[in-house]
Amino acid sequence: MTYKNELVQHLLKEIELRKDYLKGETVDTIYFGGGTPSLLSKEELISIQDKIHKTFSVHDAIECTLEANPDDLSTDKLIELKDAGVNRLSIGIQSFFDEDLQYMNRSHDAEQAARCIDSVRSAGIENFSIDLIFGYPLLSDDKWKQNIETALKYEVPHLSCYAMTVEPKTALASFIKSKKTLPINNEQSASQFEYLMNVLQANGYEHYEISNYAMLGKRAVHNSNYWKGIPYLGIGPSAHSFDGVSRQWNVANNMKYIKSLSEGIVPFEQEVLSETQQLNERIMTSLRTMEGLDRACYKNKFSNEVAAEFDKTVQHFIQEGLLLAENDVIKLTQQGKLFADYVAGELFV
**Domains in the chain: ranges and CATH:** 26-227 (3.30.750.200), 275-347 (1.10.10)
Q: Is 174 helix (H, G, I), strand (E, B) or coil?
A: helix
DSSP 289: B
Contacts of 277 (CB under 8 A, 6+ apart): none
How confident is the model at residue 248, as a pLDDT?
A: 96
**DSSP string for residues in 213-257:** EE-TT---HHHHHHHTT--B---STT-EEE-SSEEEEE-S-HHHH
Q: 3-state class of 10 per DSSP?
A: helix
Q: Please state, in angstroms and as integers, the Cα–Cα distance from residue 274 to each residue in 32, 246, 294, 328, following that order.
A: 30, 9, 20, 25
* Per-residue pLDDT at 164: 85
Quickly count: other Cβ atoms within 10 Å of residue 250's Cβ.
Answer: 22
**So what's the pLDDT on residue 170?**
58
Q: Which of 298, 252, 254 is nearest to 278 (CA)?
A: 298
Torsion angles phi and psi, residue 91, rounded to 5: -105, 125
Pairing of strands 128-134, 88-94: parallel
Mean pLDDT by 10 residues, the chain (349 residues): 85 96 94 89 96 95 96 95 96 96 93 96 96 93 97 98 75 57 77 97 97 97 92 96 95 95 95 91 93 81 79 93 93 95 92
pTM of the model: 0.92
Contact call for residues 241 and 234 (beta carbons, < 8 A): yes
- Cβ(105)–Cβ(92) below 8 Å: no
Helical axes 186-202 vs 141-153, angle rounded to 10°? 30
Q: What is the pLDDT of residue 275?
A: 87
The predicted structure's pLDDT at residue 237: 95
How far apart, in whole angstroms, are the C-alpha atoms of residue 49 and residue 40?
12
| pLDDT of 180 | 55
Report helix, strand or coil for 48: helix
Question: Residue 296 and residue 307: Cα distance in Å, rounded?
Answer: 12
Amino acid at 11: L
Residue-level pLDDT at 35: 76
